[in-house]
Amino acid sequence: MRKIVVLFLSALLMLYASTPVLAVQEITPDKAFDKEALMRKFTYNGKEYDDLVLVIQGTEGIYASYLSEFLEWRLESGVVYDLDDEEERDLLIKEFFSRKTTGFWMYPSVEIISINGEPWQITEYAEHIKEAVHNNLNPGDLLYDKNGEAWKYFCNPKYNGVASILLKGKTSLSFPVLWEDRISMYNPLNGGKPVKIETDVKDGAVLKLGSPKVTITKNGISKVNTLSVAPLALGGRTLVPIRGVIDEFGYDLGFKKNIVTVTYDGHKIELPVNSKKAYIDGKEVILDQPVIIKNGRTLIPLRFIAENIGFDVAYKDGTINLIKTK
Residue 165: pLDDT band by 50, 70, 90 thresholds?
low
pLDDT surpassing 90 at residue 86: yes
Q: What was the pLDDT predicted at 200? A: 53
State what percent of residues in the chain have pLDDT above 70. Answer: 80
pLDDT for 39 equals: 93
Mean pLDDT, residues 219-246: 87
| Helix boundaries (H) for the chain | 2-10, 12-16, 35-38, 67-76, 86-100, 126-135, 149-154, 163-166, 302-308
User: Pairing state of beta strands 25-27 and 62-66?
Assistant: antiparallel
Alpha carbon distance 173, 5 (integer Å): 11
What is the dihedral sign for C-alpha 135, 146, 221, 311? Answer: negative
Categorize the per-residue pLDDT at 27 as very low, low, confident or very high, splitting at 50, 70 and 90. confident
Percent of the chain surpassing pLDDT 90: 42
Annotated domain spans of the chain: 2-190, 197-324
Q: Give the C-alpha separation, 38 to 40, whole Å.
A: 7
3-class secondary-structure state, position 242: coil
- Summarize pLDDT for 174-204 with one digit per residue, the tens: 333 333 334 555 566 665 555 554 445 578 8
Q: Between the CA of residue 313 and those of 47, 97, 261, 264, 316, what are the distances in Å?
A: 59, 41, 20, 18, 10
pLDDT, tens digit, 9 for 90 and up, residues 65-78: 999 999 999 999 89
Tell me, what's the pLDDT at 176? 34
Mean pLDDT of 165-170: 59
DSSP 169-231: TSSS--PPP-GGG--GGG-GGGTTSPPPEE-S-SEEEEEETT--EEEEEETTEEEEEE-SS--
Radius of gyration over every alpha carbon of the chain, rounded to an integer in angstroms? 24
Is 277's pLDDT higher than 90?
yes
Tell whether pTM > 0.85: no
Mean pLDDT of all residues in 4-24: 43
Q: For domain 197-324, give the CATH number.
A: 3.30.457.10
Burial class (CB in 10 A: 0-12, 13-18, 19+), 250: exposed
Is the pLDDT confidence value at 295 over 60?
yes
